Amino acid sequence: MIVLPAELGPSYILVNVAGFELDVVEADRSIQEMGVVVGQEDNQTPVFADTMQYMVVNPYWNVPESIRNKEIIPALQKDPSYLDRHNMELVARGSDATVVDHRSIDWDDVDAADFPYAVRQRPGRSNALGQVKFVLPNNMNIYLHDSPADELFARTRRTFSHGCIRLEKPLELARLILQRSTDRSPDDLDEFLATGREKTIKLDRQIPVYILYFTAWVEDHGGVRFHPDVYGRDERLRPQVETRLAPANPSALDRKI
Q: Which pLDDT score, from 0 to 100, does residue 6 have?
A: 82
Domain assignment present for 248: no
- CATH assignment at residue 173: 2.40.440.10
With 60 as the cut, is the pLDDT of residue 257 above it? no
pLDDT tens by residue, 112-126: 989 999 999 999 988
Domain assignment present for 237: no
Q: Which pLDDT score, from 0 to 100, does residue 47 have?
A: 96
Q: Which residue range is the domain that position 81 belongs to?
A: 62-121
* Residues 152, 214 contacting (CB under 8 angstroms): no
* Residues 207, 11 contacting (CB under 8 angstroms): yes
Give the global pTM: 0.86
The answer to whether residues 166 and 44 belong to one domain is yes
* CB burial of residue 26 (10 Å; 0-12, 13-18, 19+): middle
**Cα 162 from Cα 149, distance rounded (Å):** 14
**Cα 137 from Cα 206, distance rounded (Å):** 12
The answer to whether residues 39 and 89 belong to one domain is no
Q: Which pLDDT score, from 0 to 100, does residue 4 have?
A: 81
Domain assignment present for 126: no
Instruction: Tell me what the mean pLDDT of segment 202-224 comes to.
Output: 89
Q: Which pLDDT score, from 0 to 100, does residue 236 have?
A: 73
